[in-house]
Chain A
Amino acid sequence: MKIIKRIVDIKNWKRSSKSITILIIAVLFVFTVLSILKPSEKDMMEHASPQMKQIIEENNKVDVKDEENNSKAKNLIITYNDLWVVSYVSFTTTGANAIKESYVGFLGEEYNAKSGMAKFSGQMINYTYRMLGCGENVLHGAKLTLLLTTLSMFFGFILSIFLALGKISKNFVIKKLCSAYIFFFRGTPLLIQLFVVYFSIPAIFGFSWKGLFEGSGEAVYMGAFVAALIAFSLNSAAYCAEIVRAAIQSIDKGQHEAAKALGMSYGQTMGKIIIPQSIRRMIPPLCNEFVMMIKDVSLVFAISLMDITTISKTIMSSEGNYLVFVPALIIYLIITAIFTFIFGKIEERLSIYE
Chain B
Amino acid sequence: MKKKILALVLATTLVFTLVGCGTKEPASNPAKEPTKAPATAAPTKPAATTAPTKAAIDLSGVKLMNEGTLTVGVEIGYPPFEDFAEDGTTPVGYDIDFATAVAKKLGLKVKFINTAWDGIFEGIDKNYDVVISAVTITNERKATMIFSDPYINNYQAVVVGPNFKNKITSFKDLDGLTIAVQKETTSDVLMSNYKDTKTIKLTMSQNEKVTTCFTQLENGEVDAVVVDSTVADGYLAKDPTKYIKAFQDDSEPEQFGVAIGKQNTALQTSVNKAVAALKEEGFIDDNYAHWFKAAK
- A→B interface (CB under 8 Å): 3, 6-7, 12-14, 16-17, 20-21, 24, 28, 41-42, 45, 56, 59-60, 62-63, 66-68, 71-84, 90, 92, 94-97, 126, 129-130, 132-136, 142-143, 146, 195, 198-199, 203, 208, 210, 220, 301-304, 306, 311, 313-314, 316-318, 320, 322, 338, 341-342, 345, 348-349
Q: How far is the CB of B80 from chain A (nearest CB, A)?
A: 7
Whether a CB of chain A sits under 8 angstroms from the CB of B29 is yes
Cβ contact within 8 Å between A13 and B2? yes
Q: Enumerate B252-296 residues with CB–CB distance to A below 8 Å.
A: 278, 281, 283, 286-287, 290-295
Contacts of B122 in A (CB 8 A): 199, 203
Contacts of A6 in B (CB 8 A): 1-2, 5
Contacts of A83 in B (CB 8 A): 21
A7, A82, A302, A304 — most chain B CB neighbours (10 Å): A304
Whether a CB of chain A sits under 8 angstroms from the CB of B200 is no
Partner of B104, one of A71, A74, A134: A71
Cβ contact within 8 Å between A96 and B34? no
Cβ contact within 8 Å between B3 and A318? no
Cβ contact within 8 Å between A96 and B234? yes
Given A92-B86, A96-B290, A97-B295: A66 touches B215 (CB 8 Å cut-off) = no
| CA–CA, A341 and B7, complex, Å | 8
Contact with A along B30-61 (1 / 0, CB 8 A): 01101100110111011001100100000000
Partner of B7, one of A203, A322, A342: A342
A42, A71, A132, A322 — most chain B CB neighbours (10 Å): A71
Whether a CB of chain A sits under 8 angstroms from the CB of B83 is yes
Whether a CB of chain A sits under 8 angstroms from the CB of B88 is yes
Number of A-B contacts (CB under 8 A): 218
Contacts of A130 in B (CB 8 A): 88
Given A199-B119, A317-B78: A341 touches B10 (CB 8 Å cut-off) = yes
| CA–CA, A95 and B294, complex, Å | 9
Q: Other than the known A3-B4, A67-B43, A135-B24, what 11 A-B pairs have Cβ atoms closer than 8 Å? A: A59-B34, A72-B283, A77-B85, A78-B31, A82-B24, A92-B86, A130-B88, A136-B88, A199-B119, A316-B211, A317-B211
Interface of A is mostly: helix
Cβ contact within 8 Å between B292 and A96? yes
In the complex, which range does the number of interface residues on chain B fall in?
35 or more
- 7 A-B contact pairs sorted by A residue (CB < 8 Å): A14-B2, A62-B42, A68-B49, A96-B233, A126-B86, A210-B127, A314-B84
| CA–CA, A3 and B238, complex, Å | 60
Cβ contact within 8 Å between B294 and A96? yes
| CA–CA, A180 and B100, complex, Å | 51
| CA–CA, A97 and B238, complex, Å | 7
Cβ contact within 8 Å between B291 and A7? no
Q: How far is the CB of B11 from chain A (nearest CB, A)?
A: 7
Cβ contact within 8 Å between B17 and A84? yes
Cβ contact within 8 Å between A94 and B92? yes
Contacts of A67 in B (CB 8 A): 42-43, 45-46, 104
Given A73-B42, A77-B85, A97-B237: A17 touches B209 (CB 8 Å cut-off) = no
Closest 4 CB pairs of A and B: A96-B237, A79-B87, A130-B88, A77-B85
Q: How far is the CB of A59 from chain B (nearest CB, A)?
A: 7
Cβ contact within 8 Å between B20 and A345? no
Contacts of A96 in B (CB 8 A): 80, 233-234, 237-238, 290-295
Cβ contact within 8 Å between B84 and A318? yes
Q: Smallest CB-CB separation from B48: which chain A residue?
A: A66
Q: How far is the CB of A54 from chain B (nearest CB, A)?
A: 13
Q: Smallest CB-CB separation from A81: which chain B residue?
A: B87
Q: Smallest CB-CB separation from A344: which chain B residue?
A: B7
| CA–CA, A41 and B24, complex, Å | 12
Whether a CB of chain A sits under 8 angstroms from the CB of B6 is yes
Cβ contact within 8 Å between A72 and B286? yes
Contacts of A129 in B (CB 8 A): 21, 88
Q: How far is the CB of B100 from chain A (nearest CB, A)?
A: 5
| CA–CA, A66 and B234, complex, Å | 31
Q: Smallest CB-CB separation from A60: which chain B residue?
A: B34
Cβ contact within 8 Å between B5 and A7? yes
Q: How far is the CB of A201 from chain B (nearest CB, A)?
A: 13
| CA–CA, A90 and B88, complex, Å | 12
Contacts of A126 in B (CB 8 A): 86
Contact with A along B61-98 (1 / 0, CB 8 A): 00000000000000011111001111111101100010
Given A74-B35, A84-B17, A84-B20: A20 touches B6 (CB 8 Å cut-off) = yes
Partner of B1, one of A16, A73, A142, A349: A349
